Amino acid sequence: MSLPLVAIIGRPNVGKSTLFNRILGVSRAVVEEAEGVTRDRNYAEAEWEGKRFIVVDTGGFYPESAEEIFSEVREQAMFAAEEADLVIHLMNARDGLTPADLSIAAMLRESGKRIIWAANKIDGPTREDLLFDFYRLGSEDILPVSAATGYMLDELMEKLTGLIPEAVAEEKAELPKIAVLGRPNVGKSTMVNALLGKKRLVVSPVAGTTRDAIDTVCTYYGRKYLLIDTAGIKRKAKSYPLERFSMVRTLRSIERCDAALILLDAPEGITSDDQKIAGLVHSHGKSAVFVFNKWDLVAEPDSAYKKLEGEFRRKFWFFDHAPFITTSGLERKRITKVFPILDDVLSERGKTIPAGRLSGFLEETLRIAQPPLYKGKRLIIAGFRQIGKAPPAFALYVSEPAGIKDSYIRFLEKRLRERYGFRGTPIRIVPKRKR
């Protein structure tokens, strides 16, 4: 279904993310009492009394700020308004009608969009006298709400669903979900924008610009992907609580994705933080493609590539089967090569090996090397079967599962990869007691 889109717009700290979460009924956006926490658009599907729509949480407007990043946040919110079928202009009733509210209202009126004017932080009927100041907007229909408590939410939703158009039917397909991961300031948002071929995410030299996970649909030669741009992971959360939020969001993005584009800073090389990110992806059973970004800044590309290849195999030994590519998101060099590599890795992730082939594979493997003795006795291997995919999972049926050591599991995995590939995806091999 092509769903109608509703954008929540307003100046910073009026409760947009809280309303976003209230509409969804789940905690999806970062909510904190600090201005400017939400900087990018955050999309999610919502439903009210059978009517489905997309709701967008936007970064706060800064109509009077000349700072570059706030200017870009304002631009992003205007993009959301242009895309939207309906705009909720959310204001803080406790602050009264501010010049920033009036400026935003004027811009929204110029857009020609349908608008719901809502004054937030009115917790009950006794507080509705705070509405009077907002009638200066020129609208007689100002809705009192409390995003925190849910006061008047039903009325807001009834009005919202009455104004948005019906969903348009289209071919439904499950999109492969690709998380774009990496340390702060390695160029994740620039890379997503380059893959999309248009400006979609705030790009700034300030590390940590992206704090939420942002979903975007990307199309390449008719094939669609859901790109998830995540907050950068740092090794330590430090004292600033937003870093902890960012780590949680990134972990959730890893859980949601099918494969990860792990971005690294090519001039800096591979760091321990890069290893940690790759380790999280591997431990969650997700496929990976490594992207060495900022290759345009490398002085001697040929010698740097050879050195990087050796470093990659050594530091990412647990993911040495994964492909890697050198790119420049800023200059859009070799960007289109990412998609064929992703398709290959996703195909490998869903690969299924017939039981007959695995039986022959096991016989050959046992002729090469039997498991070590366990308590002085030879283990009896009864079978080897695939029990799952995405990621591929296999059961090794054995007389004593405790006798199968990690070294033999790694040996089996290496043999599996030599025979069947599984490029870029972890493999799970589980010893099970024979039937």
Q: H or E element: which one contains 106?
A: helix 99-111
> In the chain, which stretches have pLDDT less than 70?
1-2, 26-43, 59-77, 79-80, 167-173, 198-214, 230-249, 252, 435
Fold of 5-163: Rossmann fold (3.40.50)
Domains 5-163 and 177-349 share a fold: yes
Residue-level pLDDT at 204: 46
Look up the CATH architecture of domain 355-433: 2-Layer Sandwich (3.30)
Cα 187–Cα 426–Cα 317 angle in degrees, nearest 5: 70
Euclidean distance between CA atoms 349 and 375, whole angstroms = 37
The phi and psi torsions of 333 (rounded to 5 degrees) equal: -90, 130
Boundaries of every domain in the chain = 5-163, 177-349, 355-433
Residue-level pLDDT at 100: 84
Fold of 177-349: Rossmann fold (3.40.50)
Find, among 59, 80, 48, the residue nearest to 14 by Cα. Answer: 59
- 101-138 pLDDT, tens digit each: 888 888 888 888 899 999 999 999 988 889 998 998 88
- 178-197 pLDDT, tens digit each: 999 988 888 888 888 888 87
Residue-level pLDDT at 312: 94
- 280-319 pLDDT, tens digit each: 899 999 999 999 999 999 989 999 999 999 999 999 999 9
